[in-house]
Amino acid sequence: MKINSIPYLLFILLAFFGHESLAQIPQVPAELEFADLIVRINPQARREIQLDVDAQYRNPAYFKVKQDRVNLYMPVIERELRNSGVPVDLKYLAIQESSLIGDAVSTSNAVGFWQFKQGTAEEVFLRVDNQIDDRKNIVNATKGAALYLQKHNNTFDNWMCALVSYQMGLGGAKAYFGTQFNGKRIVDVDRNTHWYFKKFLAHKVAFGSQTAMLTSSGQYMVEERVQGPTTLAALAKKYGITEQHLKDYNLWTKNGKIPGDRVYTIVYVKDGSLPVQPAIITESKPSTQSSGSTTTSSSPAYKQANSFPRIAGNTTKSAQPDQITVNNLDGVQAAQSTTQSTFSDRVGIRENKFRRLNDLDKGERIEAGEYYYTEKKNASAEVATHIVRPGETLWSISQKYGIKLSALKSKNRIRKDRDLKAGMVLNLQEHRKRGEDIPMVKLSNPTPTRQAVATSNPTPAVSQPTPVTENQTNSGSSSARLTHTVSSGETLFAISKKYGVTVNQLKSWNNIGTQNIISIGQKLVIFRP
């Protein structure tokens, strides 16, 4: 049979490029992380979610338009979620709800970026009247959505349930879920999982993939805080852009007028790349008069770490509740090693809540000398960065600065302790950009030392007999490396008290697991200042 060569060639080309396009579509994994949850997806649910992911990529032109909006608005959304203490992963919900179209209106008359009905908008302090509709303001609407989600998560302590309640309402979600997921950190997704959560996962996979991130319009969003009364026409002249451009991106002002009741944020788009803030120098510059090399231990970032956690209050009663603050948060110090149940009873907090406040795993023991929080940790730390020292874990760093473990992981795109390396410069405030490597600095003295604690009313340390130094690190050093041989009947707690260190330090220096198992004759390395 004779084949017309031109149509046949076109068919081959279309098939080839179509196959290449499909090859780039991100695939739904069997397991992924969402907020502070591990989400495990069975094969049937993966196929179902994959259909939604494929649908997002079906029309390349439409996908690019949508991704351009994502690139413009996501920096604002991510910042407002972080500032509200809501996991940044919830940002994909805005794409799901409105495709980031500011004046989107649903069939149920929900409006704006996060699709609020008027009554719900007013519950989260958004202004909706004949002058202003905050539902169409990306900054205010995101603040409102974060408040709404946080409120619902306070009921469930599970971000999947909180997310589904965004669609069902709190009452509907409570009736649907009951308490089966409350406090759970592992969620299994199957054919019975609520469709809204599976649709969300499809958006997370589709727009969180490397393929999606490569799409860029070469523009970025500019924000300006404005105190009225003023008009978009006057602001257009001030910023050198057209009034229509301001109207297109600030649909929240219905008549182009900005009232004088409060400060408003207007946005507009500029060509180019988002300006990058200068990087924080975490290591001191070497002196031109010094023959030695730069030492990390002399850098401000390294020294500041030794002043955390910041302990204040009645430190003579630090083991009692309501006596001290840890990094300006209510906290308490464990006087002895014990179980979470016993300790939470002692400080007057439900065990599940205490575990959540301190990012503890179920069954993990309370260690003598450690500080624990009795109120919610922050989404960011007081300082910008931390240089990782040997033996530290993500959990120990999060406790050191009073930052949520999930926030620390999210800011640095690092999930497991095995990926943590001494000398890493971790972000404690800003999120690291996608694809950005975590910077490393060389530690001048990688030996772990006791964590210094700055207190407003320091308690004198209990005097301990000075042990014989078996291996001094160097004659001029202020720290010593000791070796202790475990005797019959000794515990980590007893050994920690003998040398004036914490149990967690002993465990870190000697790679001891969560079961605190040591054996007679075992050699333990100890570092004393």
**Residue 480 domain-assigned?**
yes
Q: Are residues 422 and 478 in the same domain?
A: no
The whole domain housing 523 covers 464-528
Q: Is residue 413 part of a domain?
A: yes
Rounded to whole angstroms, how far apart are CA atoms 524 and 137?
59
Phi–psi pair at 144, nearest 5 degrees: -65, -45
Instruction: Give the CATH number, domain containing residue 134.
Output: 1.10.530
Residues 399 and 310 in one domain: yes
357 occurs within a structural domain:
yes
Residue 437 lies in a domain: no
176 lies in the same domain as 266: no
Q: Are residues 72 and 135 located together in one domain of the fold?
A: yes
Here the CATH number for the domain that contains residue 351 is 3.10.350.10
Distance of CA 210 to the CA centre of its chain: 19
Q: What pLDDT is stored for residue 423 in this prediction? A: 86
Q: Is residue 202 part of a domain?
A: yes
Question: What are the pLDDT tens digits along the chain (529 aa)?
Answer: 444 544 444 444 444 444 444 448 889 999 888 988 999 999 999 999 999 999 999 988 888 889 889 989 999 999 899 888 899 999 999 999 999 999 999 998 999 999 999 999 998 899 999 999 999 999 999 999 999 999 999 999 999 999 999 999 999 999 999 999 998 989 999 999 999 999 999 999 999 875 555 455 578 888 888 888 999 999 999 889 999 999 999 999 989 999 988 888 899 998 765 554 433 333 333 333 333 333 444 454 444 556 688 887 777 788 888 888 888 888 999 888 889 999 999 999 999 999 999 999 888 888 888 899 999 999 888 888 888 888 788 999 999 999 999 999 989 988 888 888 888 899 998 888 877 888 888 765 554 433 333 333 333 333 333 333 333 333 333 446 778 887 766 677 778 767 777 777 777 777 776 556 676 677 788 876 5
Both tokens assigned to 381: 């730390």
Residue 449 lies in a domain: no
Task: Report which residue type is found at 334.
Answer: A
Q: Looking at residue 350, what is its pLDDT?
A: 92
Q: Are 171 and 154 within 8 A, CB to CB?
A: no
Place of tokens 């605190």: 516
Same domain? 361 vs 252: no
Buried b (16+ CB within 10 A) or exposed e, 478-511: eebbbebebeeebebbebbbebbbbbbbbbbbbe
Looking at 196, 213, 230, which one is the last position of a domain? 213
Phi-psi domain of 500 (left: phi exceeds 0; alpha: psi -120 through 50; beta: other)? left
Residues 482 and 359 in one domain: no
Same-domain status, 231 and 115? no
Residue 136 lies in a domain: yes
Total structural domains within the chain: 4
241 and 191 co-located in one domain: no
Q: Which of these three, 197, 213, 229, is where a domain ends?
A: 213
Pick from 170, 187, 213: which residue ends a domain?
Answer: 213
